[in-house]
Homo-oligomer: A and B are copies of this chain.
Amino acid sequence: MTGGADIERVRTIADLRRCIAEWRAAGLSIGLVPTMGALHEGHLALVEAAVGGCDRTIVTLFVNPAQFGPNEDFAVYPRDEDRDAGLVTRAGADLLFAPNVDEVYPPDHATQVHVSGLGDILEGEHRPGFFTGVATVVSKLLLQSLPDRAYFGEKDYQQLCVIRRLTRDLDIPVSIAGVKTVREEDGLALSSRNAYLTTAERAVAPVLHGTIAQVAEQVGRGEDPRDQAQWAIDQLRRAGFGDVDYVTVRNAETLQEAVDASLPARVLAAAWLGKARLIDNVAV
Contacts and interface: CB of A to CB of B under 8 A. Distances in A.
A118 interface: yes
A111 B120 CA distance: 12
Contact of A111 (B109, B140, B166): B166
A180 B9 CA distance: 43
Contacts of A140: 169-171
Interface in A160-197: 165-166, 168-173
A200 interface: no
Interface size class of A (residues with CB under 8 A): 20 to 34
Contacts of A173: 17, 143, 146
A64 interface: no
A45 interface: no
A144 interface: yes
Stoichiometry (number of copies): 2
A8 B111 CA distance: 35
A112 interface: yes
A139 B171 CA distance: 8
Nearest to A104: B171
Nearest to A254: B108
A253 to B, nearest CB: 9
Contacts of A116: 110-112
B13 A171 contact: yes
Contacts of A135: 111
Which 7 pairs show the lowest CB-CB distances between chains A and B? A111-B169, A143-B171, A110-B116, A144-B171, A111-B166, A140-B171, A111-B115
16 contacts: A106-B168, A108-B254, A109-B169, A110-B117, A111-B114, A111-B116, A111-B166, A111-B170, A112-B113, A112-B114, A113-B113, A136-B170, A140-B169, A143-B143, A143-B170, A143-B171
Given A110-B169, A111-B170, A140-B169, 12 more contacts: A106-B169, A108-B165, A108-B254, A110-B116, A110-B119, A111-B135, A113-B170, A114-B114, A139-B170, A143-B170, A143-B173, A144-B171
